[in-house]
Amino acid sequence: MGDTKGFLKFKRQLLECRPVCERLKDFREVGIKPTPSHYKDQASRCMDCGTPFCHWGCPIANYIPEWNDLLSRKQLRQAYENLSATNNLPEITGRVCPAPCEFACVLGINDDPVTVRENELAIIEEAFRHGLVQANPPRKRTKKSVAVVGSGPAGLSCADQLNKAGHNVVVFEQDALLGGMLRFGIPDFKLEKWILDRRVNILKKEGIEFLTKVNVDLEKGIAKLKKEFDCLALACGARTPRDLNIEGRDLNGIHFALDYLVQSNKRVAGEVIPAQEIIDAKGKKVVVIGGGDTGADCVGVALRQGATCVAQIELLPQPSSCRSQEYPWPRYPLILKTSSSHQEGGERKWSILTKKFIGDKGAVKRLSCVQAAFEKDASGCPAIKEATGTEFEIEAGLVILAMGFLKPKTEGVFKESRGIFLAGDMRRGPSLIVWAIYEGRAVADSICRYLI
């Protein structure tokens, strides 16, 4: 390593964010880019472990100790080559990946883990700044053609790998713009869309064809594509939200998180939304139901839109702030996470069971809630019960349902013929972006072997 005692000399130090009072006025990225001295010191904390468990924690098996070493010694070109060997979208994972590698970091056993995600971001952004990231089309083509349906992280990674192998790749996207959930599901304050466009433009220069506004039917559309292409990769994601079917659900002012985030991203991009369709938190009391990352994104959007107050409520109990015995190192733990959105305002409440929505003149006004208690049933499984005498109400003019997504139904997809592959959330169900990249790469490898 560049400094074998770096982990003793330097403490973990995360990148600073722009002041809350400043960043709430816009949707620009909240983080401040690192200085060379910052990422050099942080990369030197990597211990070059004999058994680097960060590999085990990372679904795409990034060469983390290798590129940390190279970054600490300012060997940028080699660091970039190591990083891009396993990750097709490092500028995106470097911003929005939950970094399971860091929870598996050996240094994390008795100290704060290495800032792996931020070091990854430093490498790729410095590589772009120094002109190291260039289009590199394949020298030979195989004359085999593959259709990739969906341009999210799984679809883009799959298409990139197939194109590198020399196959002719066409990506079909139902939306007018490319990126799937990367573009429409993640707010700009976490991922500005020029970053996505920058990568897509490279893929275009490398020979991948992208067709937008094409909605491929999972039966008739697939049969048609199968006649035109040698193979199909379906990476359509999982966009069906989990609903909350309780009394008052049909009141106005209750929306799914994805509908809210998609519209917000479109508005930030300058798209004009009809007045009667606008979902806006300005001047309203907002309640976000769901304590995950999607819910936190909704909190950040609502605050930027000018909500008078924002509450994020979660059915489950508040997680521990540190590892519990149920999640020993190097497992990815269930711990309390505080995002940049939580630092900007609002409040979080735990163990809250929503009983019904209460409205006036067809619009939601309040939530009827009760404190949830968790006990084990006769078989030892946890059961949710209402804590007696804990009923209360929460005022709300806007309610966002952020309770996750359902696995898409894929029955009948394969009935036409062989040569059809599933990737990403469409195959494994709703998951992390880094798993989507892994799935895209794995499916591309399977397709290459299939086409031999």
pLDDT of residue 411: 67
Distances (CA, A) of 348 to 218, 318, 319, 385: 40, 9, 12, 21
With 90 as the cut, is the pLDDT of residue 381 above it?
Answer: no
Interstrand relation of 398-401 and 285-289 (parallel, antiparallel or unpaired): parallel
Give the span between the Cα atoms of 80 and 61, in whole angstroms.
15
Least confident of 104-113, 137-146, 348-357, 409-418: 409-418
Interstrand relation of 145-149 and 231-234 (parallel, antiparallel or unpaired): parallel
Query: At 304, which helix (H) or strand (E)?
Result: helix 293-305
Give the span between the Cα atoms of 13 and 347, in whole angstroms.
26
User: Can 6-129 and 145-238+407-451 be said to share one CATH topology?
Assistant: no
Classify the C-alpha dihedral 344-347-352-357 as positive or negative: negative
Q: Which of 429, 375, 390 is nearest to 407 (CA)?
A: 429
Which of the four pLDDT bands, split at 50, 70 and 90, describes residue 413?
low
Phi, psi of 414 (to 5 degrees): -95, 5
In the CATH hierarchy, which fold is given to the domain comprising 241-405? FAD/NAD(P)-binding domain (3.50.50)
With 70 as the cut, is the pLDDT of residue 442 above it?
Answer: yes
Domain range 145-238+407-451, its CATH number among 3.50.50.60, 3.40.50.1110, 1.10.357.10, 3.40.30.10:
3.50.50.60
Q: With beta carbons less than 8 A apart as the criterion, state whether 27 and 194 touch.
A: no
Give the span between the Cα atoms of 144 and 395, in whole angstroms.
59
Give the span between the Cα atoms of 370 and 59, in whole angstroms.
39
Tokens of 247: 């009394």
In the CATH hierarchy, which fold is given to the domain comprising 6-129? Fumarate Reductase Iron-sulfur Protein; Chain B, domain 2 (1.10.1060)
Q: With beta carbons less than 8 A apart as the criterion, state whether 179 and 196 touch.
A: yes
With 90 as the cut, is the pLDDT of residue 61 above it?
Answer: yes
Give the span between the Cα atoms of 261 and 253, in whole angstroms.
15
Tell me the whole-structure pTM to 2 decimals.
0.94
DSSP category for residue 272: P
Phi-psi sector, 306: left (phi>0), alpha (psi -120 to 50), beta: left
Least confident of 112-126, 171-185, 321-335, 354-368: 321-335
With 80 as the cut, is the pLDDT of residue 64 above it?
Answer: yes
- pLDDT (tens digit per residue) in 274-302: 999 999 999 999 999 999 999 999 999 99
With 70 as the cut, is the pLDDT of residue 416 above it?
Answer: no
Q: What letter represents residue 342's amino acid?
A: H
Q: What letter represents residue 376's amino acid?
A: K
Q: Where are the domains of the chain?
A: 6-129, 145-238+407-451, 241-405
pLDDT of residue 245: 96
Please name the residue ranges forming H helices in 257-354. 257-268, 293-305, 340-343
